[in-house]
Structure 1
Amino acid sequence: MRLFKRLTLLIGLVYLVPSLAAAAYWASQTHPANWRAADWSSARLLPDPAKDKRARISILAARTGGFKGAFAVHSWIVIKDAGASNYDRFDVVGWGKPVRQNGYEPDGRWYSNRPEIIWQAEGDKAAALIPDIRKAIAEYRYNQKGSYTLWPGPNSNTFVATIMRAVPEIDAVLPPNAVGRDFLGPSDFAFYDRSGNLNLTLYGLVGLSAGSKSGFEVHLLGLVAGFDISRPALKIPAVGRLALM
């Protein structure tokens, strides 16, 4: 009984307290009433493709809309071939056929929330990875109508995380508040990529990750707590990364 109480207290401190704090802060802010009232314009994070002719890959994320924005981000991937005059943005959405191409500005705000760049590559490195990324996008298995599930997945973050796992040269993981990123599938419970990163999960609800990319993480109901070693940071449920350097 004492062990159970201590475990309950630990879970409350690590997962519940930050989530409640994030919810309180979110509720205190002003947000658009609906998607029509939201700002979807470019945040001007990416260079003008007409001037920068290098190949580029960018993975971005921004807080999502409604009350779920207190706990989660929406992520997407942007690619540009060398010499191309425009970017291609790929998202998953919850209506119609999930994978959408160029439905929004490449670095557009999401429900008025400014995105951040999670990872990017340019030049020869990007050019070498773009074919693999396009192949992984084309092969994404949850691209049929009705296959989107907000929680625990597959959702928008499941899509981007799947592409990142398929191309292990992308040496990053989505932030800890990218709910749905750890959903591997209804019958997939482990994933190990050649970069040395291990993911273990039970339907994206309970699991852990360890490796040079993810550091060490413990997942509970879509929330992630842990720490990053290669880029020193704490991973705080609902809040995100707290850099230590």
Structure 2
Amino acid sequence: MKRTLKYTAWFLGALLMLLTGPLLLATSSSLQGAESWRTATRASAGIAPRPEQHPEAVVQIYGARAWSWRGYFAVHTWIATKEAGAEQYRVHEVTGWRRYVVSSRLSEPDRHWYGAKPELYADIRGAEAQALIPTIYQAVDAYPYVTEYEAWPGPNSNTFTAWVIREVPGLDVALPSNAIGKDYLGNRVVAEVPGGSGYQLSMGGYLGILAGVREGLELNILGLSLGVNPMALGIKLPGIGELALRNPNPMSEAASAGR
């Protein structure tokens, strides 16, 4: 009986620790979204370079807090591309309210996600970006879960972004620890990390561990991650994400100057 109570106390303590971040965000006025998704802004945040001013190719990866209470736990991520000389960006993402969940369309690359301001995770430009774009298109078309969507533990929008990054050599980008679904590997148990140098083990996205040069060390429990990132000089907290002094991902000089 005492052993059972001890294990129960340990379980409840661990669960409370995992939920501390989301609970803090739930009580924070900074994450209160719009009253209705119909009226929530989808306007550009003014982060991406305008095509008429920057004709070079651009590849960017963004994320923003998920809609409503989901934002206390996770972010929604997407990929934006612009070929050299193109007049518009193409946005690649997964949304769960359609039968065919993959969307690849002309759109604003840095628009708010239903009221939530986007954050730029990576910014690649010029010849390097132009070389990546055809393979990105191929990876988008090859995404294996085109009619499947599960907000937790995946496959979802973050599963898609992580899939594309893994499938494109040279697109080495670490996604934030609160991108729930990035660790969903389908039938696989072991895979390379999106950041390019490192590996992760995941049991269906419910439990796993990740170690990479860009990602640092993450422990994933029920989709919530905690850990440390020496390269970014940061720590990772469930729900809150990464509190870091540096961005370990590739960033253009212009984007780095603006951060």
Kept in 2, the 8 Å contact 1:79–1:130? The answer is yes
What SS does structure 2 have at the residue aligned with 1:165?
Answer: helix
User: Which residue type is aligned with residue 91 of structure 1?
Assistant: E
Q: CA deviation at 1:224?
A: 0.8
TM-score by length of 1: 0.90
Superposition map of 1:167-178 within 5 A = 167-178=168-179
Superposition map of 1:74-153 within 5 A = 74-96=76-98, 97-102=100-105, 104-144=107-147, 147-153=148-154
Number of equivalent positions:
241
Superposition map of 1:1-245 within 5 A = 1=3, 4=7, 7-8=10-11, 11-12=14-15, 14-25=17-28, 30-96=32-98, 97-102=100-105, 104-144=107-147, 147-185=148-186, 187-192=187-192, 195-244=196-245
Pair 110,81 (structure 1): closer, same or farther in 2 beyond 3 Å: same
Q: CA deviation at 1:11?
A: 2.3
Pair 29,81 (structure 1): closer, same or farther in 2 beyond 3 Å: closer
What is the alpha-carbon root mean square deviation over aligned residues?
2.2
Pair 32,81 (structure 1): closer, same or farther in 2 beyond 3 Å: same
Structure 2: which 5+ runs fail to align? 247-259
Structure 1: which 5+ runs fail to align? none
Q: Distance in 2 between matches of 1:202 and 1:29?
A: 31
Q: Distance in 1 between matches of 2:83 and 2:232?
A: 28
Q: CA deviation at 1:211?
A: 1.4
TM-score by length of 2: 0.86
Q: Distance in 2 between matches of 1:197 and 1:168?
A: 14
